[in-house]
Chain A
Amino acid sequence: MSQVFTKSMARNIFYGGSVFFFLLFLALTFDTTKALPARDQSHLLDPTTELGQKIAHGKSLWEANNCIGCHTLLGEGAYFAPELGNVYVRFGKNKEAIKAFIQSRPAEGIPGRRSMPQFNFSGEELDAIAEFLKYSSEINTAGWPPNQQG
């Protein structure tokens, strides 16, 4: 680069540009936060309601069993097992079907094939997980995934 463009100019672009775009990012974050309640189903999450507690419990079970280590949720996670952000829709909006699937996994797996571990969840835990997955499927994700297969 020629001498017209000096190191101190480069430095100023770095500091000025970084600060400007970080502030812009904060402004967009502020706007997003305001827009979210209309999209993120947060009205379901009230911890004083039974439903809110169930979803919170479901999310903590989702995390404590590292479900994201095989599955994606809204497209994020591992790509070893199906997307679960829309599993409620894929299973015909049937929570019982989700619970039955989780419950029916063989503890020793399936010879030669991928299989979900058997987690031995209680009925209450299964209920919470299904409720969490139902909540996930109702978030407004701008039309993603492209179809039911996730």
Chain B
Amino acid sequence: MKYASQSVARPYFVAAIALFVAQILFGLIMGLQYVVGDFLFPEIPFNVARMVHTNALIVWLLMAFMGAAYYLVPEEAERELFAPWLATLMFWIFLIAAGLTVAGYLLVPYAGLAKLTANELLPTMGREFLEQPTITKLGIVVVALAFLFNIGMTILKGRKTVVNLVMLIGLTGLAVFFLFAFYNPTNLVLDKYYWWWVVHLWVEGVWELILGSMLAFVLIKTTGVDREVIEKWLYVIIAMTLITGIIGTGHHYYWIGTPEYWQWWGSIFSAMEPIPFFMMTVYAFNMVNRRRRNHPNKAAVLWALGTAVMAFLGAGVWGFLHTLSPINFYTHGTQITAAHGHLAFYGAYVLISLTMISYAMPLMNGREANSERSQVLEMWSFWLMTVSMVFITLFLTAAGILQVYLQRFSDAPLQFMLAQDKIALFYWLREITGLVFLAGLVLYIVAFFVAAKDAKEPAAAVPATA
């Protein structure tokens, strides 16, 4: 760590991991509710568990992105953060707002929460992923603006690098497109049309810029490859991301009341969306193969390569699987969508966040890398979580194919719940695999404590730097 103010990232990373744990626990609750329908009913109905699951994911990824920005922007800009106190203040505001929101989900019926937070003044609640009370959304805007101001000023007064600029463009886009969360017309088609300006233009647009910037930073640091080379790749990858991804939004406009020509625009452009992810895989492996140094933090390099591969599989391949409109006609809104969602979020955004945390945490703790055995634990957690997520995806894909056949394709289509009963086996398999994922996550956290212990008593472990 070169600048003291980079350490404001630490609480963001810690909170991110804590929320990650909450996300997985509620994921397991939902997974069980899929097969034991009355589990925790009516205390925690499925929709509540799902809100906590998805909202915890979104918030912890945002926490990780912010932490990553606070860490990498000063180092790239070669100066201290403009206002470290502001970053710390915003952390607490964000954490308290997130905590209160989750408490609201769990303690009050959702309709009661809507009334309590005066949703009728500016109704924004009750839409997928945007379930937060309007007041929470306003809080997110405040935090995002203060955050952008802070890192924007740091970059303005410091060295401007491609990594910094791309991060700033991505984060600005994130804040700008979030504003569409406040537009909620009665017209369902318009509501859905602009809802995607938040959801799609985030995850298949500006978030990929943030991902690209974080990956480039870690690759520059761990491989020692010339910055010029990495930055050129970064530009090409994010160019392809936006060239394909913006019109690729059209793959959400097939069946929501929008004109049929979107089936052409959406199919053609989103079929090209895997290209930037494939390039990312090629580039990450290339850079690691051409490395000029062997960075002692091998775990961070593993997470980085994992990101490149799994993002391509989850976002690229599993996205392509159902993106062409004639196929999507049958798969739209089934377990196929869920399968893709899981592997894409894990492969792209969970893994890049863990990459950054893995790289930066030891440095913030005053060492270049953690002890060998801590890294071994971390790598075990990588494999456990990654392999189990691949299997979760495969089981959901199998469930989805059967669901499509039974409910939509066969000569005698079954009712939704009858089809669900027939595919319950795959939901059980998914749930069991989810427990393996949890084991991987527990191991991941254990690795931090082992690292801290080994740093205190270096005699007990062989340091990785030796």
Contact = CB atoms under 8 A, between A and B. Distances in A.
Contact of B416 (A45, A63, A81): A81
A76 B184 CA distance: 16
A7 B231 contact: yes
Contact of A70 (B46, B188, B338): B46
Interface in B205-228: 228
Nearest to B38: A109
B82 interface: no
Contacts of A52: 186
Contacts of B119: 63-64
Give the one of A6, A108, A144, A147 with max B CB within 10 A.
A144
B239 interface: yes
A76 B253 CA distance: 11
B366 interface: no
A75 B332 contact: yes
A69 B110 CA distance: 11
Interface in B265-316: 265
Contacts of B246: 18, 21-22, 24-25
B125 A21 contact: no
A141 B419 CA distance: 24
B257 A74 contact: yes
Contact of B235 (A10, A136, A139): A10
A112 B26 CA distance: 19
B123 A63 contact: yes
Nearest to B400: A79
Given A36-B258, A66-B131, A110 B38 contact: yes
Interface string B175-197: 00000000010111110110000
Interface stretch (B13-21, B57-65, B405-413, B452-460): B405-413
Contact of A10 (B239, B409, B414): B239
Given A65-B110, A115-B37, A40 B249 contact: no
Contact of A6 (B34, B232, B407, B409): B232
A32 interface: yes
Interface in A1-58: 1, 5-7, 10-11, 13-14, 17-18, 21-22, 24-25, 28-29, 31-32, 35-36, 39-40, 42, 45, 47, 52, 55-56
Nearest to B260: A142
A94 interface: no
Nearest to A107: B42
A120 B307 CA distance: 47
Contacts of B152: none
A63 B33 CA distance: 22
Interface string A109-129: 111111101110000000000
Contact of B408 (A21, A117, A147): A147
Given A42-B187, A114-B37, A18 B242 contact: yes
A104 interface: no
Contacts of A32: 193, 253, 258-259, 262
A74 B188 contact: yes
Contacts of B36: 112
B332 A69 contact: no
Nearest to A121: B111
Contacts of A142: 254-255, 260, 263
Contacts of A65: 110-111, 126
A67 interface: yes
Contacts of A66: 47-48, 51, 110, 125-126, 131
Given A63-B125, A113-B38, A79 B329 contact: no
A109 B41 contact: yes
A112 B260 contact: no
B118 to A, nearest CB: 12
Contacts of B413: 147-149
Contact of A64 (B125, B186, B236, B338): B125
Contact of B34 (A74, A80, A143, A149): A80
B330 interface: yes
Contact of A76 (B42, B128, B162, B229): B128
Interface string B1-36: 000000000000000000000000000001001101
A68 B127 contact: yes
Nearest to B119: A64
B247 A21 contact: yes
Nearest to A119: B111
Contacts of A13: 235-236, 239
Contacts of A72: 333
A40 B188 contact: yes
A27 to B, nearest CB: 11
15 contacts: A10-B236, A14-B239, A17-B239, A25-B249, A32-B262, A39-B257, A40-B187, A52-B186, A60-B123, A64-B125, A64-B126, A76-B333, A80-B30, A114-B33, A142-B260
Interface of B: 30, 33-34, 36-38, 41-42, 45-48, 50-51, 110-111, 114-115, 119-120, 123, 125-128, 131, 162, 184, 186-190, 192-193, 228-229, 231-233, 235-236, 238-239, 242-243, 246-247, 249-250, 252-260, 262-263, 265, 329-330, 332-335, 337-338, 407-409, 413-417, 419-420
Interface of A: 1, 5-7, 10-11, 13-14, 17-18, 21-22, 24-25, 28-29, 31-32, 35-36, 39-40, 42, 45, 47, 52, 55-56, 59-60, 62-70, 72-83, 107-115, 117-119, 135-136, 139-150
Given A13-B236, A114-B420, 15 more contacts: A1-B229, A6-B232, A13-B235, A21-B247, A32-B258, A39-B189, A66-B110, A67-B126, A68-B47, A68-B126, A80-B33, A80-B47, A141-B256, A142-B254, A149-B419
